[in-house]
Amino acid sequence: MEITVRTTDLLKELLLIQGVVERKTTIPILSQLLVEAGGDGQIHLAATDLELAISTNCPAKIKKSGSGAVPARKLLDYVRLLPDADLSIKLLENHYVQLRCGRASTRMVGMSRENFPELAAFPSTPPARIPGAVLARMIRKTIFAIASEEARYTLNGAQMVLKPESIALVATDGHRLAHVADDHTAIEGVPAEIRCLVPRKAMVELQKLIDELPEGGTVEFGQDETNLFFSLPLAGGGRRVLAARQLTGQFPNYEAVLPKDNARVCVLPSEPLTQALRRVAQFADERSHAVKLRLEKDHLTLTSSSSEAGEADEELDTPYQGEPMVIGFNSQYLLDFLAVAGSEEVRLELKDEQSAGQFRPQGGDGDQYRYIVMPMRI
Amino acid sequence: MRKILHIDMDAFYASVEQRDDRALRGRPVIVAWRGPRSVVCAASYEARRFGVRSAMPAVSAERLCPEAIFVAPDFSRYRAVSQQTREIFRRHTDRIEPLSLDEAYLDVTENKTGLPSATRVAETIRRQIREELRLTASAGVAPNKYLAKIASDWRKPDGLFVIRPQAAYDFLTPLPVGRLPGVGRVMEARLKRLGIATVGELRGQASTRLEASFGRFGRRLYELARGVDESEVEPNRPTQSLSAEDTVERDVRLSETEPIIRRLAEKVWTAARKERRRARTVVLKLKTSDFKLLTRSVTPASFPATSEELAGLALALRARVGLDARQRYRLVGVGLGNFREPEEVDQNRELFA
């Protein structure tokens, strides 16, 4: 293989692909990037950590086709230091890879591509077509609620539900749940209903890929027995494809925990609430992040106290007419929601101090977005 | 000379269930959660006749005794009954060291009621438990903790056994070494290779030889063989940590440890359910085939709520071991630590309770 690429073109793809490169070198081939040059004026790049795989391509002048495995991290670190210029890449004997750019030259130790895992191909069935901007927005509104503790395995992703006229994403870590649905958007290519669990890490990588999508771009979605596939077109031709191993197991029956009769409602301006919460949270217990919300006629008081740091309180006006009550929440959970609510005001709907509270944007971008948080024992 | 009792409730959880539900009496009762990985928390004596034992997988128990009645454990009730047994103990002494909900050591060298002997105290406690709580307990009376524990097991169920100081020597002589505290399957096999199967044979060993073979534990073996155990009954000793570990028969790779970790997690979880306080830290312990000990621990934001979660956390800790995948291990352990009062941990409530 012998090719020439523009360093800036290559760097962009290397950065996008780096997230799935295995950092721990338990299986050496997984630290490698698969590079293939065919006859289509593109080089194809792929990396995998066996859970996720990303493949992409980059325009190149192909002198001689072929393929090899190159250490991904080293390649990125090196290319990053090169100026915007032409870079020639040539496979030598014994899996050496030669890089030349201007007067800089290197010989990297690669590996045989034979050892590189077989990558699953996008299924041949017609894909579902999801507007990239919608998907990105929904990921942003749910990803933070996914369990990060590896133990809660089936919660380690979000459930995606696709229907011909709607898309919904749900994520929970057992203490809170974010549910977002958009039923104004037609999803082409969905015969009836598709339900799947998208792993958290796939959502992270997908967000990065969608960021690179031109405005109005579409993400094609497909699945086979073991993988989910997200395919995004590239401006210069070709596609970037993310393949994610499906999470097995049962997503919890979340419909059962959606509050139905939370009658104590108050509406609060998002920004002042966020600011007040941030301040009060400074004095919350460092581990639990607990803040108390005291609702009384026409105002809400936030309080916190920690044995080490001290205490804080702050009052906000709200047209509240219900019974007074006090409820404790993890302030971080509330801030996570406020950061993505996307509305001037938020609705806080409560039942009592032991039952889940529901937060919703008041107005906003048209998504049906609800965030359910269990209170803390106070 | 101290006078120590070990009181051990007979098939405690199963007995409480049988006491409170007439329909269960005289029938094989197994207290366990239903589930593929669940283990038996307790088995009534009717069930034990079929070979059912606590800590065995519930599925095996079901196979051994298909007609058994499975009852889901109700620890709040067991805890309440356990509290009542403690109140009975407290009439006799304040020096009580509970080991779990169903067993405790009592130091009755001096007792509050003025009964003339430790044996009479043990008899009285057993009678009070029977009459007031309608449950049976077995008691061991001995000059120290470990002998008391061996004694309470000797006439189980509903029995009393006394090891008098002057009789301890002869009593111990024929016992297999596996009866001694700290001598597990693997230690027993090591002793056997040295030609030591009984406590009497152990006693024949010079302390220098035992120490050369077993280090500090050799010294302890030397004392145990002579019926010596200076450890005090420690009242109100809060649990600092709980763990279960297993020395495997054939050294395993990390990738092969999942079933072991799951089994140990279940065991530790069952033990932890007996605690009022809850553990925040999960520990994975491993010993390599060349005896290097390593531990990895994690303190999640919310403490583990189920045994599956505990197992999941322990399994996830394997990723942090960082040794070559070919490394083999001789011991695997799962532990819980950092116990806190439930109210100390202002806990976030569960959405899917």
Q: DSSP states of A341-355 as a string?
A: --SSEEEEEE--TTS
pLDDT at B178: 93
Give the gap in angstroms from C-alpha A226 to the nearest C-alpha of chain B.
Answer: 22
Give the gap in angstroms from C-alpha A354 to the nearest C-alpha of chain B.
Answer: 8
Q: Which CATH number fits the domain that encloses residue B254?
A: 3.30.1490.100
Closest residue, chain A, to B314 (C-alpha): A151
A259-373 has which fold? Answer: DNA Polymerase III; Chain A, domain 2 (3.10.150)
Give the mean model confidence (pLDDT) for residues A34-54. 93
Task: Tell me: do B269 and B332 sit in the same domain.
Answer: yes
pLDDT band for position B37 (50/70/90)? low
Contacts of A374 in chain B (CB under 8 A): 348-351
Return the percent helix, strand and coil in chain A, to nearest 5: 25, 45, 35
B313/A377 Cβ within 8 A? no
Distance CA A140, CA A135 (A): 9
Distance CA A357, CA A373 (A): 5
- Positions of B marked catalytic: 103
Which of A45, A87, A88, A50 lies closest to A70 in space, CA to CA?
A45
A153/B351 Cβ within 8 A? no
Task: Tell me: do B252 and B347 sit in the same domain.
Answer: yes
B352/A150 Cβ within 8 A? no
Task: Tell me: do B196 and B282 sit in the same domain.
Answer: no
- DSSP-assigned states of every residue in B199-225: HHHHHTS-HHHHHHHHTHHHHHHHHHT
Predicted-assembly ipTM surpassing the 0.95 threshold: no
pLDDT at A151 over 60: no
Distance CA A155, CA B36 (A): 20
Give the gap in angstroms from C-alpha A290 to the nearest C-alpha of chain B.
Answer: 8
pLDDT at A188: 92
Q: Mind listing the pLDDT tens digit for each residue in A361-375?
A: 998 777 899 999 999
B contact set with A (CB within 8 A): 300-302, 304-305, 308-313, 315-316, 322, 325, 343, 345-352
Distance CA A146, CA A159 (A): 10
Q: Is residue B87 part of a domain?
A: no
Pairing label, strands B160-162, B137-142: parallel
**Domain assignment of residue B263, given as a range:** 241-351
Task: Tell me: do B216 and B254 sit in the same domain.
Answer: no
* B164, B192, B224 - which closes a domain: B224
Residues in CB range of B15: below 8 A, 6 or more apart: B9, B44, B135, B136
- DSSP-assigned states of every residue in B39-50: B-SEE-HHHHTT
Q: Is residue B153 part of a domain?
A: no
Which of A115, A71, A68 lies closest to A94 in space, CA to CA?
A68
- B174: number of Cβ within 10 Å: 9
Contacts of B302 in chain A (CB under 8 A): 174-175
B144 within 8 A of B227, measured Cβ to Cβ: yes
| Percent of residues, chain A, with pLDDT higher than 90 | 78
Which of B4, B22, B29 lies closest to B103 in space, CA to CA?
B4
A356/B351 Cβ within 8 A? yes
pLDDT band for position B33 (50/70/90)? confident
Contacts of A175 in chain B (CB under 8 A): 302, 348-351
Q: Mind listing the pLDDT tens digit for each residue in A76-92?
A: 999 999 999 999 999 99
pLDDT at A152 over 60: no
pLDDT at A136 over 80: yes
SS3 B323: coil
pLDDT at B236 over 90: no
B308/A287 Cβ within 8 A? no
Residue written as token pair 């056997």? B192
Of A124-133, A222-231, A329-338, B179-188, least confident by mean pLDDT is B179-188
Distance CA A132, CA B162 (A): 78
A288/B349 Cβ within 8 A? no
pLDDT band for position A57 (50/70/90)? very high
Q: Mind listing the pLDDT tens digit for each residue in A281-339?
A: 999 987 788 999 999 999 999 999 887 788 899 999 999 998 999 999 999 999 999 99
Task: Tell me: do B245 and B344 sit in the same domain.
Answer: yes
Which of B158, B198, B203, B195 lies closest to B15 in space, CA to CA?
B158
Question: Which residue of A151, A252, A375 is in closest CB contact with B304?
Answer: A151
Q: Which CATH number fits the domain that encloses residue B187?
A: 1.10.150.20
Angle of helix B307-317 relative to helix B258-272, nearest 10 degrees, comes to 140
A267 within 8 A of A347, measured Cβ to Cβ: yes
B309/A151 Cβ within 8 A? yes
A375/B308 Cβ within 8 A? no
Question: Which residue of A151, A172, A377 is in closest CB contact with B351?
Answer: A172
Which of B344, B332, B343, B265 lies closest to B304 in space, CA to CA?
B265
pLDDT at A154: 57
Structure tokens belonging to residue A146: 């996914």
A128-255 and A259-373 in the same fold: yes
Give the mean model confidence (pLDDT) for residues B310-322. 89
Q: Is residue B130 part of a domain?
A: no
pLDDT band for position B279 (50/70/90)? confident
Task: Tell me: do B213 and B309 sit in the same domain.
Answer: no
Total domains present in chain B? 3
Residue B84: its H or E element: helix B75-92
According to DSSP, the residues that pair with A376 across neighbouring strands are: A328, B348
B302/A177 Cβ within 8 A? no
Closest residue, chain A, to B307 (C-alpha): A151
- A67: number of Cβ within 10 Å: 15
A252/B352 Cβ within 8 A? yes
pLDDT at B304 over 70: yes
Residue B298: its H or E element: strand B293-298
Contacts of A288 in chain B (CB under 8 A): 345-348
Give the mean model confidence (pLDDT) for residues A22-43. 85
pLDDT at A357 over 90: yes
Give the gap in angstroms from C-alpha B318 to the nearest C-alpha of chain A.
Answer: 12
The residue length of chain A stands at: 378
Give the mean model confidence (pLDDT) for residues A253-259. 91
Contacts of A376 in chain B (CB under 8 A): 346-349
Structure tokens belonging to residue A51: 């859970």
* A86-91, strands of its sheet edge to edge: A61-64, A2-6, A86-91, A96-101, A104-109
CATH of domain A2-115: 3.10.150.10
Distance CA B183, CA B179 (A): 7
Q: Is residue B288 part of a domain?
A: yes
For A6, A22, B177, the CA distances from A80, given in Å and listed in that order, are 12, 19, 67
pLDDT at A288: 82
Task: Tell me: do B332 and B245 sit in the same domain.
Answer: yes
Task: Tell me: do B204 and B274 sit in the same domain.
Answer: no
CATH of domain A128-255: 3.10.150.10
Q: Where are the domains of chain A?
A: 2-115, 128-255, 259-373
B7 within 8 A of B104, measured Cβ to Cβ: yes
Closest residue, chain B, to A353 (C-alpha): B349
Which of the given ranges, A14-18, A287-291, B308-312, has the highest pLDDT on average?
A14-18
- For the whole model, what pTM was predicted? 0.60
| Mean pLDDT over each residue of chain B, to the nearest integer | 89
Task: Tell me: do B327 and B251 sit in the same domain.
Answer: yes
Q: Is residue B329 part of a domain?
A: yes
Give the gap in angstroms from C-alpha B331 to the nearest C-alpha of chain A.
Answer: 22
Distance CA A21, CA A30 (A): 6
Closest residue, chain B, to A356 (C-alpha): B351
pLDDT at A367: 87
Distance CA A190, CA A169 (A): 16
Of B160-164, B200-204, B243-247, B337-341, least confident by mean pLDDT is B337-341
Task: Tell me: do B309 and B345 sit in the same domain.
Answer: yes
Task: Tell me: do B203 and B271 sit in the same domain.
Answer: no
Task: Tell me: do B256 and B343 sit in the same domain.
Answer: yes
A50 within 8 A of A120, measured Cβ to Cβ: no
pLDDT band for position B350 (50/70/90)? confident
Give the gap in angstroms from C-alpha B292 to the nearest C-alpha of chain A.
Answer: 20
